[in-house]
Structure 1
């Protein structure tokens, strides 16, 4: 287990822990296993206690022998820091460790916000830009991106015929872990500029600088361990709303956002987070007239979770039209493998194959025809989601001193190709993906 896997465990909420444990067996079975472990521990403790009732060193009463246990304690303490899990935990906070990077990001964001300057100020049409961050969605299992037998994303698939939509079938995540992937996706740091997080600026701060009222609406719970990652970026927004219900509950929050203003709205969905059957409300299952199947049929429930996300996206799109909606982006944090879910080790490329599509309203396309032209020209380009900050900078018409034209899908200078595209924070090449 590496430090990224340990970070995921530390960031796990009680609800996620319950979902995972319940997938291993029934609750009564897990209770029996826990009881057996406790009983075994008590028996072992009692057996050891019997053998230690006679003091091993009762004749050593001199104070000088206190030195011996102190010396042993010192060397034992040093040894503990070199073995699992202490060594992995300490590495999280050491130089170049992820939590050290997140802490530095949190500390430096106010400073970086002060030096943020827009290169030019273009008047933007009244209305809203919406970013939807999916969870564990793999485009291999989405009918809008792949030729598969099950229509898992009917609404998105129908949108491919609409000239206002732009689909990107070669999009990848920068890392198969939510905290690691989203932190780079929503900041100016990426795999290509090798900029450390401490020197980056976040997308919420950029949007506010460009004159937008910013919203963060999430059905994913806050985690203290990731406060210097996703949560600290969310807290840069003007309004944060954290929900505990199904993803469709965000529609109620969307309905409360005032129309006619410049709004930048981020929705962070639970999407297809494991367990997949917990992501789909029973009312939706009944509405679709789906057969009642075993919860252990992971592949089937995963497809159903994608179908439900497609339903939520359709409703967000339709509800946002009244704002009015000028642009909408949907991208997932990472993909998913049916056997290993998502992890840095062992790694599979389906863990980073993600969906990406962009919508531009007719009025937006009329105002900025060059954006439409470049998005269409780059539909078959390779994209990694750590370039989201730059692409959103282009859509928001807000390039800055933190912006890279070569990383922006709306720019004619975009130059990420199959040969230079990276994932796993630079450790793997997209060219090595057999499906790239």
Structure 2
């Protein structure tokens, strides 16, 4: 009973300063990292705001037990401090926010790899920063003092804090989503920026996504190999590269006739490239698109990805050592399928462990591991590079040095003034994507390989491109052409051209869906097997034009698939120049 010390002070004499010190102490361990994330433009304001709100929950036990203020604050503070050291250290090294992806990478790495990372990224200034962080936390603890309220008022205040910070949001999200599981997921998103919830939520989600991924991998391991696979290149060394972009609409690339010079480096390489100008994606979403692009599934047979080998599995069966380098988020509920594809490869490099997509993450990070994979001694290699590309929020996709487009020059008249910054940031993202893709091509060419590199985007993006549509991003329910028009191009080495027919001048405008990529890839790679359908190969003499189907194949017949040709993309200003 003595823990609940009654106060004889009036409301006028309430110790607001004491309460402020308590809040500042608890906020400090989450707030400093979130403040650094905000000030460095790594992410937006949401995480900072959520950490601020969640810090208030720790006031409840101190209001209930004021006589134990210093002890309780110390116990809670030690836990918060330990978690904050982990999240702060991770930010120091990677300029990213801690997430379940980090836990996945930690458990995927061995002791030797962990030691290499520590040696590579450790800097002595970090020790000083950690000591300063600890010293400030201790100093704040010395400033704490009990805040007394009459017992009844203390109970009411504590209950209000817990209900406002945790109870009400959880109930609200549960009602909004229609299920407790859905509500809990939304609530976890709310509390995740604050320690220690950051670690707890990350670990729980890691376990959940790991279980899902392992289930998918187990199912994939039972898929029968391709029948009667033959490789025309079986006795020759070869390095093949597949670069998968993200959210890039070819209509915003100068290589495809866009008036702004958004692809100057690829423009310089155009005489060396086979640029296909009539390729579309079947779905405007990454997971749904790649389930078809990387497998034998398509709009009419969407479930074939569950029962047939993937492109990576196909190349492994052909004797290639496979690499997967990705700048996509590693372990999220949406990206479990992508991680499953990557885990089918022999080696993986995961570069993006941010908690959310709205965070600064540059695709230039893929270049170093790409060159390392090129230098691998395996005679036959497949290297898949998955970019973050021009995914929104576009301002996070490029460094400041690529902030080239800043005014209305070159912006269509129909784009409102308030839309211009977003329109420009997308073009800047395309400009940086041009630098990354062209760098991959150049670095690949320097190795004098025997092989080819193919680049395509998973889907497009409508950034105020369609007249009559005030559209940003993608909406399959209200499709527009820019959501589906994707870049599709290939570069072949001189060695490969010597032994392969690489004259595709008559094929560049063929109507094609990337859902049939695996047939084109196998054809280019010199593979043959019973499941191969050369009429679905973009570069085959047996190619057969088909309706370019788009839409959700799992919808009811009332929302049937539609032919993309019914939606006319805007004509390019100039034609793409081909060799």
| Alignment equivalent of 1:367, drawn from 476, 499, 502 | 499
Q: Structure 2 CA distance, aligned partners of 1:121 and 1:428? A: 36
Unaligned runs of 5+ in 2: 1-33, 57-155, 160-172, 183-211, 353-360, 409-417, 464-470, 554-560, 571-579
- Higher RCO, 1 vs 2 (CA within 8 Å, ≥6 residues apart): 1
The answer for the alignment partner of 1:214 in structure 2 is 322
Aligned residues: 362
The answer for the alignment partner of 2:477 in structure 1 is 345
Q: Deviations over 1:87-122 (max 9, x none)?
A: 997xxxxxxxxxxx999854431122x432343231
Other structure's SS at 2:368 match = helix
The answer for the alignment partner of 1:92 in structure 2 is none
Determine whether 1:170 maps to 2:269: no
Q: Deviations over 1:123-153 (max 9, x none)?
A: 254231111111100011111112x321101
**Shift of the alpha carbon at 1:170?**
1.0
Determine whether 1:398 maps to 2:514: no
| Alignment equivalent of 2:456, drawn from 331, 336, 353 | 331
Q: Residues 29 and 219 of structure 1: is their aligned pair in 2 closer, same or farther, counting only changes over 3 Å?
A: closer
User: RMSD in angstroms over aligned alpha carbons?
Assistant: 4.0
Larger Rg: 2
Q: Structure 2 CA distance, aligned partners of 1:111 and 1:29? A: 42
Determine whether 1:185 maps to 2:185: no
**Shift of the alpha carbon at 1:240?**
0.4
Q: Residues 193 and 386 of structure 1: is their aligned pair in 2 closer, same or farther, counting only changes over 3 Å?
A: same
Q: Residues 82 and 323 of structure 1: is their aligned pair in 2 closer, same or farther, counting only changes over 3 Å?
A: farther
Other structure's SS at 2:316 match = helix
Other structure's SS at 1:377 match = coil
Q: Residues 331 and 213 of structure 1: is their aligned pair in 2 closer, same or farther, counting only changes over 3 Å?
A: same
Q: Structure 1 CA distance, aligned partners of 2:380 and 2:369? A: 17
Q: Structure 2 CA distance, aligned partners of 1:274 and 1:201? A: 31
TM-score (norm 1): 0.72
Q: Residues 307 and 273 of structure 1: is their aligned pair in 2 closer, same or farther, counting only changes over 3 Å?
A: same
The answer for the alignment partner of 1:70 in structure 2 is none
Q: Residues 121 and 394 of structure 1: is their aligned pair in 2 closer, same or farther, counting only changes over 3 Å?
A: same
Q: Residues 88 and 127 of structure 1: is their aligned pair in 2 closer, same or farther, counting only changes over 3 Å?
A: same
Taking the TM superposition and a 5 Å limit, the aligned residue runs for 1:36-435 are 85-86=178-179, 106-112=217-223, 114-123=224-233, 125-146=236-257, 148-162=258-272, 165-193=273-301, 196-226=304-334, 228-244=336-352, 245-257=361-373, 258=375, 261-285=379-403, 297-321=421-445, 322=447, 324=449, 326-338=451-463, 339-369=471-501, 372-373=502-503, 375-417=504-546, 420-425=547-552, 427-435=561-569
Higher helix share: 2
Q: Residues 102 and 346 of structure 1: is their aligned pair in 2 closer, same or farther, counting only changes over 3 Å?
A: farther
Q: Structure 1 CA distance, aligned partners of 2:277 and 2:406? A: 31
**Shift of the alpha carbon at 1:430?**
1.3
TM-score (norm 2): 0.55
Contact kept? 1:200, 1:402, Cα under 8 Å: no
Contact kept? 2:249, 2:485, Cα under 8 Å: yes
**Shift of the alpha carbon at 1:329?**
0.6
Q: Residues 145 and 262 of structure 1: is their aligned pair in 2 closer, same or farther, counting only changes over 3 Å?
A: same
Q: Residues 212 and 328 of structure 1: is their aligned pair in 2 closer, same or farther, counting only changes over 3 Å?
A: same
